[in-house]
Amino acid sequence: QPQLQESGPGLVKPSETLSLTCTVSGDSISNTINYWGWIRQPPGKGLEWIANINYSGNAYYSPSLKSRVTISVDTPKNQFSLKLSSVTAADTAVYYCARYNWNQGNSDYWGQGTLVTVSS
């Protein structure tokens, strides 16, 4: 079954860009029925959807974050990535990558999550 693993810096300075990568195993990013996405969870709070993307680069973004977010895919490496610019303390969260099953309308496989702290 698919496995997803987030990687990237755990500490980012305010105003800088947060960059995370999700490596997928057990499935192909090029699978045409799936999208791949990011969800975050501030400490002690609920879940917030950020964006989804498919193998061809067709992407959907949260309007509240769209001006600062870039999501991309690297099909040869079977990875997808998130960049969030101009971060503040409010962007401190556990960031999860997940596979989105388009037909079933759900994120059926999730990574373990990675905590990113924004602090100087």
- Here's the x/- map for other proteins, 86-105, by CB under 8 A: it reads as ----------x----x--xx
* DSSP β-bridge partners for residue 51: 38, 61
Give the max Cα distance, the chain: 43
| Least distance CB 88 / other proteins (angstroms) | 20
14 vs 33 by CB, closer to other proteins: 33
- Here's the x/- map for other proteins, 41-80, by CB under 8 A: it reads as -----xxxx--x-------xxxxx----------------
Residue 112 near other proteins by CB under 8 A: yes
35 vs 92 by CB, closer to other proteins: 35
List C-alpha distances in Å: 19 to 14, 33, 64, 108, 112. Answer: 13, 26, 18, 23, 17
List C-alpha distances in Å: 43 to 5, 80, 99. Answer: 20, 24, 22
23 vs 101 by CB, closer to other proteins: 101
Contact 110, 40 (CB under 8 A): no
By DSSP bridging, strand 114-118 and strand 11-12 are: parallel
Binding site for other proteins (CB under 8 A): 46-49, 52, 60-64, 96, 101, 104-108, 110-113
